Amino acid sequence: MISLSEIDTTVKRATKAIGFSWGIAEEVGKSISLLEMFGLPGLKNLNQYFKLYKDKKFQNVSLISKSNSSKISYCPIISGINFLDQVFTLNEMTEIDFENVAFPILFIPFLSKSSEIVGKKIFLKIDERKYLLNFNHSIFSNHLDSDVIDKAKKLKIIFIDNENTFSEGEWNELYSLSKKTFVEESEELKQTAAGAGLTDND
């Protein structure tokens, strides 16, 4: 089995060879190895994208808005890079829509890293496929297949506000139970606690 390190290095070099800058190539190398680590077909989708890249025109988006549409398919790499660069502004929009994104699987790792940067989960819908990106630590999906997806008609991104999954009452019940492990402070404990008896000679 090819290691993630080998995937990172080879993808980085291939991305540079196809015409991207070394800086972007570094990001793509990390992104594809991340997809492979999470069991998503990153390398397969990238390989197919690169077969079309030089002969087919793709749309580059510089300033991402709440709604993004193009007759020419968006480049998932440039879209992903610019999403990362603008993530704090985009986070305030809550929901962002794209139409016509080429090889959208390649867009996912940039959103995953964005989730870590803003400290929020991100829900992503690629046509009927759904993904939940968790602070760049995991990706949950209802479509963990190895297909190449050459285009997404509709892509929706939703930033999810951080909320507890439990009620205040449930928290209080558990906290009350945890208090049974607390030890009351006695004079003996005060004398033997860390730092007790030390004198400051300064």
Q: Strand 67-74's sheet: what is its strand order?
A: 67-74, 95-102, 151-160, 121-126, 129-134, 138-141
Taking alpha carbons only, the member of 117, 155, 158, 112 closest to residue 137 is 112
Taking alpha carbons only, the member of 99, 93, 82 closest to residue 156 is 99
Percent of the chain with pLDDT over 70: 91
In-domain check, residue 59 = yes
Amino acid, res. 155: L
How far is the C-alpha of 23 from the C-alpha of 43, rounded, in Å? 19
Q: For residues 157 and 96, is the Cβ–Cβ distance under 8 A? A: yes
Taking alpha carbons only, the member of 16, 14, 20, 22 closest to residue 43 is 14
In-domain check, residue 119 = yes
Q: For residues 36 and 42, is the Cβ–Cβ distance under 8 A? A: yes
**pLDDT (average), residues 15-33:** 98
pLDDT attached to residue 202 = 55
In-domain check, residue 192 = no
In-domain check, residue 186 = no
What backbone torsions phi and psi does residue 167 show, to the nearest 5 degrees? -85, 165
Domains of the chain: total: 1
In-domain check, residue 152 = yes
Q: Look up the domain containing 103 and give its range.
A: 4-160
In-domain check, residue 60 = yes
pLDDT attached to residue 105 = 97
Global pTM value: 0.86
- Dihedral sign, Cα of residue 169, residue 173, residue 178, residue 184: positive
In-domain check, residue 195 = no
pLDDT attached to residue 147 = 86
pLDDT attached to residue 201 = 57
Residues 6+ away with beta carbon under 8 Å from 45: 103, 105, 106, 148, 149
Amino acid, res. 127: D
Of 186 and 2, more confident: 2
In-domain check, residue 101 = yes
pLDDT attached to residue 185 = 65
**pLDDT (average), residues 147-168:** 96
How far is the C-alpha of 192 from the C-alpha of 113, rounded, in Å? 47
